């Protein structure tokens, strides 16, 4: 028995309309749409020739430090200033405060069609395990609408902030799904990277670094991460965010780096809102954009995700947690405007982040988990170009969001 039938869907790469049959949380069948045919189903939704994609996957977001702009007077002028400002604000965090801000962002993301996300949760002597405890509770509470994967993240460094390694260990014992570091914010980047890989091996979890987040290629810690990925056998289990410095390398070195990343199975998460906001501040004229070289990475078969990162805090003072905005930004900033580019950008919100997070049974074929988004558009590219709203979002085969809009152009009626 079909629980839910989505009628008349436009699916990427399929010339004809499709009906998607769903039972027990999974896609059971894709049927060629026949108008008027009424197959039995618990619930049927007439999608009306709109685009349907798998649920959006947010590969990189900070919920614990989101929505701080309301209590801070300014944004930051640099990455390190943003880290300092948030460290100061963090001293005033309470569990209830984190829960409320994180919930607001989760609610926004779910309306926008996000059905899975990796959350970087700060674990350090300032906030202790308060963020981890709060996010573990939210993971349960929000499970009917979104899968949360929690990455225990050492934003304040590990070696320069004694006690952090022990706290990371505790967070992993509590159930963190991944471990994350930030080698540029510590006194010995190599050792920092080794500690993070050591924890990943000890707890058998994936690794996610904030890395090389400056205008000039002065750090390039990514090379050490590639080396450690091979040595530990963590191929396919490592992701890096930002990687802005790579865009300042000569083209031939960018190409070599992209090939090395592909060989190591390392996913790259570009964070266009934060990268555009914080990079390029040292140049009075012609500032660089500071985005990872998305096109070159994709050309080398590196999985590239576009992530939100921060929502309204000193790192990024704007944001709604709608991933379609990140594709829009990348289309403009990374010069990706052809139909093929625009479709690739949709992949950067769906299949690539799903691969980076190693989500099982992701996609729109029979057997996959029924996590789906219906977009108010008829062509896939419009997801990027026109930012349509999403009338229905489905998680595990159940409708989680039904969104209606009513527009009445009264000025036209008056004519
Ligand atoms: Zn981040």
Domain boundary among 336, 356, 376: 356
CA of 144 relative to ligand 1 center, distance in Å? 25
The model's pLDDT over 294-324, given as tens digits with 9 standing for 90+, comes to 999 999 999 999 999 999 999 999 999 999 9
Note the pLDDT of residue 75: 78
CA of 210 relative to ligand 1 center, distance in Å? 6
CA of 1 relative to ligand 1 center, distance in Å? 43
- Model confidence at 39, pLDDT cuts 50, 70, 90, reads confident
Same domain, yes or no: 226 and 289: yes
241 lies in some domain: yes
409 lies in some domain: no
Tokens encoding 271: 């964070």
Tokens 């990706």, residue? 336
CA of 256 relative to ligand 1 center, distance in Å? 25
148 has pLDDT over 80: yes
> Across residues 148-174, what is the average pLDDT?
98
Same domain, yes or no: 253 and 284: yes
Same domain, yes or no: 157 and 27: no
> Across residues 171-197, what is the average pLDDT?
98
**Total-model pTM:** 0.97
- The total of structural domains in the chain comes to 2
CA of 73 relative to ligand 1 center, distance in Å? 21
- Model confidence at 211, pLDDT cuts 50, 70, 90, reads very high
Strands in 212-339 per DSSP E? 238-242, 267-270, 304-306
Same domain, yes or no: 167 and 278: yes
Same domain, yes or no: 202 and 72: yes
DSSP output for 233-247: T-TTSEEEEE-GGGG
CA of 406 relative to ligand 1 center, distance in Å? 36
393 lies in some domain: yes
Same domain, yes or no: 140 and 259: yes
CA of 291 relative to ligand 1 center, distance in Å? 14
CA of 298 relative to ligand 1 center, distance in Å? 21
Same domain, yes or no: 145 and 263: yes
CA of 155 relative to ligand 1 center, distance in Å? 9
Note the pLDDT of residue 37: 77
* Domain region containing 96: 56-356
413 lies in some domain: no
74 has pLDDT over 90: no
Note the pLDDT of residue 35: 85
Same domain, yes or no: 223 and 132: yes
> Across residues 125-130, what is the average pLDDT?
97
d(CA 209, CA 196): 9
243 lies in some domain: yes
- Model confidence at 85, pLDDT cuts 50, 70, 90, reads very high
> Across residues 144-150, what is the average pLDDT?
98
Pairing of strands 304-306, 26-32: unpaired
CA of 277 relative to ligand 1 center, distance in Å? 13
CA of 34 relative to ligand 1 center, distance in Å? 46
Same domain, yes or no: 279 and 395: no
- Model confidence at 364, pLDDT cuts 50, 70, 90, reads very high
Same domain, yes or no: 84 and 20: no
Note the pLDDT of residue 266: 98
49 has pLDDT over 80: yes
The CATH number linked to 132 is 3.20.20.140
CA of 248 relative to ligand 1 center, distance in Å? 20
Same domain, yes or no: 318 and 375: no
CA of 240 relative to ligand 1 center, distance in Å? 10
Same domain, yes or no: 186 and 320: yes
> Across residues 370-388, what is the average pLDDT?
98
CA of 203 relative to ligand 1 center, distance in Å? 22
412 lies in some domain: no
73 has pLDDT over 80: no
Note the pLDDT of residue 44: 95
CA of 2 relative to ligand 1 center, distance in Å? 40
CA of 242 relative to ligand 1 center, distance in Å? 8
Torsion, Cα 110 113 116 119, to 10 degrees, reads: -60
Yes or no: say if 126 and 160 are a contact pair by the CB < 8 Å rule.
no
d(CA 79, CA 213): 8
The CATH number linked to 375 is 2.30.40.10
């Amino acid at each position: 028995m079909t629980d839910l039938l989505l009628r008349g869907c436009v699916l990427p790469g399929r010339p004809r309309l499709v009906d998607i049959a769903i039972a027990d949380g999974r896609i059971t069948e894709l049927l060629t749409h026949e108008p008027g045919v009424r197959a039995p189903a618990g619930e049927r939704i007439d999608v009306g020739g709109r685009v349907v994609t798998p649920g959006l996957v947010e590969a990189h977001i900070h919920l614990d430090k989101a929505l701080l702009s309301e209590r801070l007077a300014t944004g930051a002028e640099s990455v390190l200033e943003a880290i300092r400002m948030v460290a100061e604000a963090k001293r005033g965090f309470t569990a209830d405060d984190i829960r409320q801000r994180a919930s607001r962002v989760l609610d926004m993301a779910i309306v926008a069609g996000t059905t899975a996300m990796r959350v970087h949760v700060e674990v350090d002597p300032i906030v202790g395990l308060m963020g981890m405890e709060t996010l573990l509770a939210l993971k349960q509470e929000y499970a009917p609408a979104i899968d949360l994967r929690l990455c225990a993240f050492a934003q304040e460094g590990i070696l320069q902030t004694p006690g952090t390694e022990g706290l990371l260990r505790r967070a992993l014992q509590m159930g963190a799904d991944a471990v994350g570091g930030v080698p540029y914010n510590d006194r010995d980047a190599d050792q920092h990277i080794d500690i993070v890989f050591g924890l990943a091996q000890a707890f058998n979890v994936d690794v996610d670094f904030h890395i090389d987040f400056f205008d000039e290629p002065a750090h390039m810690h990514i090379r050490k991460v590639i080396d450690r990925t091979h040595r530990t056998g963590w191929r396919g289990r490592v992701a890096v965010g930002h990687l802005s410095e790579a865009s300042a390398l000569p083209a031939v070195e960018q190409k070599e780096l992209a090939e090395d990343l592909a060989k190591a199975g390392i996913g790259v998460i570009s964070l266009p809102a934060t990268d555009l906001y914080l990079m390029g501040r040292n140049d009075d004229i012609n500032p660089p954009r500071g985005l990872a070289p998305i096109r070159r990475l994709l050309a080398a078969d590196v999985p590239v995700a576009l992530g939100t990162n921060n929502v309204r805090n000193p790192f990024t003072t704007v944001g709604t947690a709608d991933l379609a905005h990140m594709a829009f930004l990348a289309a403009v900033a990374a010069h990706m405007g052809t139909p093929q580019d625009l479709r690739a950008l949709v992949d950067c919100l769906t299949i690539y982040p799903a691969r980076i997070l190693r989500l099982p049974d992701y996609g729109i074929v029979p057997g996959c988990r029924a996590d789906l988004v219906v977009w108010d558009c008829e062509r896939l590219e419009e997801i990027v170009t026109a930012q349509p709203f999403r009338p229905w979002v489905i998680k595990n085969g159940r409708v989680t969001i039904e969104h209606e809009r009513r527009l009445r152009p009264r000025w036209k009626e008056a004519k």
